């Protein structure tokens, strides 16, 4: 059993990759500046690193869960080249107004609800009070707070520099 340790929760679109609207293909994927370095730095600290991403494009019929998995596999392969990794990707394919019937529903996993974060904390020994999320939407921050972890609003730039600032701020008591 792994030891209890802090977790960095990362939204995907707009934090790890440039948000071009429903990014689902490798050829459309572009890392946000500092994303790989951010993940590596937190891996090196011994933190868990999780991606928690709403993927309503699946419910809307824009792409499939398999398409998303191919993209996540690509991200993992790219990260491995720098000695970095995501401990687990969590996604919510559901949306109340989805076109695909099996994905058309409300879900506790869809941010701003905390389901994906709660699942990660159930699946891994996470030190909740020492953990935080970086997201680019208010719903990300709401999900973090609902899960009992810190939340930081990323508005662009170098996400590694932002994460280092967030960590220092968090350790000083910000949430």
DSSP alpha helix (H) spans, 1-148: 35-45, 56-59, 65-80, 115-123, 138-147
| Among 2, 13, 67, 109, the one annotated catalytic | 13
Decide if 11 is catalytic: yes
CA 34/CA 135 separation, integer angstroms: 15
From residue 102, alpha-carbon distances to 59, 61, 62, 97 in Å are 8, 11, 14, 11
| Among 2, 11, 67, 123, the one annotated catalytic | 11
CA 29/CA 73 separation, integer angstroms: 12
Which residues are designated catalytic? 11, 13
């Amino acid at each position: 059993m792994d030891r209890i340790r802090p977790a960095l929760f990362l939204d995907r679109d707009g934090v790890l990759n440039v948000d071009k609207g429903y990014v689902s293909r490798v050829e459309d994927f572009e890392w946000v500046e500092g994303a790989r370095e951010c993940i590596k730095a937190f891996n090196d600290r011994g933190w868990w690193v999780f991606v928690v991403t709403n993927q309503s494009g699946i419910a809307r019929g824009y792409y499939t869960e398999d398409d998303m998995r191919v993209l996540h596999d690509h991200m993992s392969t790219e990260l491995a080249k720098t000695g970095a990794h995501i401990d687990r990707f969590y996604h919510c394919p559901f949306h109340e107004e989805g076109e695909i019937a099996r994905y058309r529903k409300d879900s506790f996993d869809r941010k701003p609800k905390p389901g994906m974060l709660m699942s990660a904390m159930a699946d891994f020994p996470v030190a909740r009070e020492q953990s935080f999320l970086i997201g680019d939407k208010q719903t990300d921050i709401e999900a973090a707070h609902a899960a009992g972890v810190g939340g930081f609003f990323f508005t662009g730039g170098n996400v590694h520099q932002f994460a280092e600032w967030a960590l220092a701020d968090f350790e000083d008591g910000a949430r």
